[in-house]
Structure 1
Amino acid sequence: MTERVLVVAAHPDDEALGCGGTMARHAAAGDGVDVVFMADGVFSRTTADLDARRGSARKACAILGASVPTFFEFPDQKLETVGFLEIVQAIEPIIARIQPTVIYTHHGGDLNLDHRIVHQAVMTALRPMPASTYRAIYAFEVASSTEWASSAIGEAFRPDHFVGINATIERKFEALQAYAQEMRDFPHARSYEALRALAVVRGAGVGLPSAEAFVTLRSIVR
């Protein structure tokens, strides 16, 4: 079965961090992969900054085998200042056009508030309807947000779905190099070394050399 995959991320680089290897695996299998970025991803809204970040996102998505991404211009780290319905209504036409079968988005308990709002907006836009096309919604983890949250924010990230990425992990890291300005030196959680270690740990936990981990938000067998 050919899947129609939709990744809804708050900011450029969240997609590569959270599910880059899985995106590349989908693409290698012949699945269509579309990506939507809800916020611009930069505090400074100069034209040069926005163009550079979007250029990085286009390059990363091309490396991962995804289509040219869709960019919305909601304010970075300020999604709470936007009417929630406006965010939901931005996502709904994308879903109607793509008719995805599998969706990946943020975990609802992340430290980053933009991530939590996007999670809620995606779940609202994908509320179950008789005409829905999707079979699964998964939440990914974003290093330096998901693991930094506290129980006061929401449930901890407890993955129950693992995707082996041994064949695509180098593609994931090639995509992350497109976001070099967002990466940090080890032992920061968003360093190349830490992310590779995370992939190994996620894989070893289920008997794989490397993996990306997800929480199943909804699974439907029709």
Structure 2
Amino acid sequence: MSTFSSTTYPVLPAAAAASLGPTVVIAPHPDDESLGCGGLMALLRQAGQPVWCVLISDGTMSHPNSQKFAAPARQALREQELREALALLHVPAQALHCLNLPDGAVPLPDAPAGATAVQQLTVFLRQTQPATVLVPWRRDPHPDHRATHRLVQAALQHLSDPPRLLEYVVWAWERAEPADLPQTGEVQGWQLDISSVLPQKQAAIAAHRSQLAGSPIDDDPTGFTLAPSMLAHFAQPTELYLEAIS
């Protein structure tokens, strides 16, 4: 297993966030937005920039064996947690758009459900006209994250004036294989100083209670929770963003 290092990337001041303009954050699951981009989202809103969040999956597979929370209840709980997290980042409730694709089986663009998702994303991006779109790192080691990247790339191809595309890291911090890491000449990157809004980001992460120790979904011993070692990556005063070298 390899480590995804951010030390080689320059650190930009918090004020640089505003230059991204109106921004859409694409999250495969509820919590990815807060983990990967929570600081940037808070800084964008602080600067008066519009921020939208698109949730790709229904989030139901974190605790698939729970009887207390059947799949519809898990979906409702995780969406409620996401709305609370967004409110803490000062993103308005109406800025959330949910595609409700199956958690753990987000389709690729060449599947019928994937093609429909590409159409939905294209319409949403035409309506919102963002200057920047944030999407998980192309080889983030989770199939839903990789599929999400592919769906967004396919949607951008339908736009005559596509927005800037930035990639954020979630699972690659812990689970990257050598082939998952950026290759020479593939991307350029930078870190954003989020120290001024780090408490806000931490509060947004904490809103995703079902994914943390002491989860209210307590009847599935095989259920997922974020490990302390994983959470430590998102308690740092910077966030990393990568951008393809054209």
What TM bracket, shorter-length normalisation?
0.7 to 0.9
Displacement of 1:80 in angstroms is: 3.5
Cα shift readout 1:51-92 (whole Å, capped 9, x = no counterpart): 111100001011112132111110000114853322211211
Where in structure 1 are there 5+ consecutive unaligned residues? Answer: 200-209
Distance in 1, matches of 2:90 and 2:240, equals 20
Question: Are the aligned partners of 1:159 and 1:213 in contact in 2 as well (CA < 8 Å)?
Answer: no
For residues 126 and 31 of structure 1, do their structure 2 counterparts lie closer, same or farther at Cα, with a shift above 3 Å needed?
same
Displacement of 1:186 in angstroms is: 9.0
Check if 1:77 corresponds to 2:107: no
Letter in 1 for 2:55: F
SS of match in other structure, 2:175: coil
For residues 162 and 75 of structure 1, do their structure 2 counterparts lie closer, same or farther at Cα, with a shift above 3 Å needed?
same
Match of 1:108 among 102, 115, 138: 138
Question: Are the aligned partners of 2:137 and 2:146 in contact in 1 as well (CA < 8 Å)?
Answer: yes
Q: Which residue of 2 aligns with 1:46?
A: 71
Check if 1:56 corresponds to 2:81: yes
Question: Are the aligned partners of 1:23 and 1:33 in contact in 2 as well (CA < 8 Å)?
Answer: yes
Q: Which residue of 2 aligns with 1:92?
A: 122
Residue identity (%): 25
SS of match in other structure, 2:141: coil
Q: Which residue of 2 aligns with 1:189?
A: 229
Distance in 2, matches of 1:93 and 1:85, equals 13
Displacement of 1:182 in angstroms is: 1.1
SS of match in other structure, 1:190: helix
Distance in 2, matches of 1:64 and 1:103, equals 17
Match of 2:175 among 142, 148, 156: 148
Displacement of 1:151 in angstroms is: 3.5
Check if 1:37 corresponds to 2:80: no
For residues 60 and 93 of structure 1, do their structure 2 counterparts lie closer, same or farther at Cα, with a shift above 3 Å needed?
same
The runs of 4+ residues in structure 1 deviating greater than 6 Å are none
TM-score using structure 2 length = 0.74
Match of 1:118 among 138, 148, 163: 148
For residues 138 and 145 of structure 1, do their structure 2 counterparts lie closer, same or farther at Cα, with a shift above 3 Å needed?
same
Q: Equivalences for 1:126-141 in 2 at 5 Å? A: 126-127=156-157, 129=159, 131-132=160-161, 134=163, 136-141=164-169
Distance in 1, matches of 2:20 and 2:233, equals 33
Where in structure 2 are there 5+ consecutive unaligned residues? Answer: 1-18, 65-69, 214-224
User: RMSD between aligned alpha carbons?
Assistant: 2.5
Displacement of 1:187 in angstroms is: 6.3
Question: Alignment length, in residue pairs?
Answer: 202
Farther off after superposition, 43-52 or 10-19: 43-52
Distance in 1, matches of 2:192 and 2:157, equals 25
Which has the bigger relative contact order, CA under 8 A and spacing at least 6? Answer: 2
Q: Which residue of 2 aligns with 1:67?
A: 92
Letter in 1 for 2:79: R
